[in-house]
Every structure is written in C-alpha cells, then in structure tokens.
Amino acid sequence: MKGKSYKRWEDTGIYVDTYELFKAVHSVIYDFPKKDRVVLGDKIHDKASSMIAHAGMAYKLADRRKEEIDLFICDFEILKAYLRLAIDLKHLLPAKQVKIFSYIQRIDEGIMKWRKSVMSKIQASKVSNNDLEPDKQESRGGDGFI
C-alpha cells in the first residue's frame, strides 16, 4: 500500500468546484439589498449547500449515485435560475458574475460527463444481468401471452 495515493472525494473536481461556487455565492449574497438578501439570498445559499451535500453523497454512496447526481442537477438548474434573477435585479456585479459563472461552466461540463459515465455503467450492468437470466418468455412455456 505504500506509495499509492488515493484521491479523497472531497478533493475531486465537481465537489471542489461546487464548494468554490458555494463560497463565491455566499460572499455576494451580502451585497444584495436586505429584502432580497433574506428571500433570494437564502434560496441561493440553500441550493448551493444542497448541491455540496448531493455531490458528497454521490461520491460516497455508489448504490445511490444516479439519484444523488440527478438531485444535484435539479438543484444546480434551480440555482442557475436564481442567479439569473439576481443578475436581472442588478444584484450581481459583472466582476463577480465572471467568477461565479466560471465555476458554473466547469460544474456543468463535469456533472454531465459524470452522469453519462454512471448511466453507461448502469446500462452495462443491466446487459450483463440480462445475459445471466433465462428468457422469461420461454420459461412461461406458453406462446408469450399473459
């Protein structure tokens, strides 16, 4: 085991980018007017922190990985909508938008690759499981009608 280095899930790309996005949105929320800081800012903060939780669970729980990635994607899309609203309301300065949207772009690319990889593994396991099971229609002994 000596000499091998294992990558911790907290050090992986999507998790790191999500955490950096969380820090970035956390810092800009305080620039919002008080009313929007409480309403919109809290929603942005909640979605960003929820994304961190889903990313962590997806890395940790292989049997729930697809579901956690799907929940991550759902929260991610909602977060992007909230951020677009903040831009429309002129609460996000252009300089801060660049930083936030660079993380969003990296997460967007990474999560779709990860989901595609997970889906292909699921499909491959279904194909291999189907090869091991006898044909159900033949096992009924009939003409295929229920």
Counting every residue written for the chain, the total comes to: 146
Q: Class for domain 11-124, per CATH?
A: mainly alpha
The residue with tokens 């907290």 is 10
Mean pLDDT of 88-111: 93
Tell me the domain boundaries of the chain. 11-124
Least confident of 14-23, 49-58, 82-91, 116-125: 116-125
Q: What pLDDT is stored for residue 129 in this prediction?
A: 65
Query: Is residue 3 over pLDDT 70?
Result: no
Query: Is residue 1 over pLDDT 60?
Result: no
Percent of the chain residues topping a pLDDT of 90 = 57
Rg (CA), the chain: 21
Mean pLDDT, the chain, integer: 84
Least confident of 8-12, 44-48, 56-60, 125-129: 8-12
Answer for the pair 15, 52: CB distance below 8 angstroms, yes or no. Answer: yes
Helix, strand, coil % (nearest 5) of the chain? 80, 0, 20
For 33-62, b/e burial (b = at least 16 CB within 10 A) is: eeebbeebbebbbebbebbbebbbbbbeee
What confidence tens digit (pLDDT) does each residue in 6-48 have?
455 555 688 999 999 999 999 999 999 999 999 999 999 999 9
Task: Name which of 106, 118, 10, 127 is nearest 71 in CA terms.
Answer: 118
In the DSSP assignment, the letter for residue 81 is H
pLDDT-derived band at 120 (thresholds 50, 70, 90) equals confident
Distance from C-alpha of 132 to C-alpha of 115, rounded to nearest angstrom = 26
Answer for the pair 105, 24: CB distance below 8 angstroms, yes or no. Answer: no
Answer for the pair 100, 3: CB distance below 8 angstroms, yes or no. Answer: no
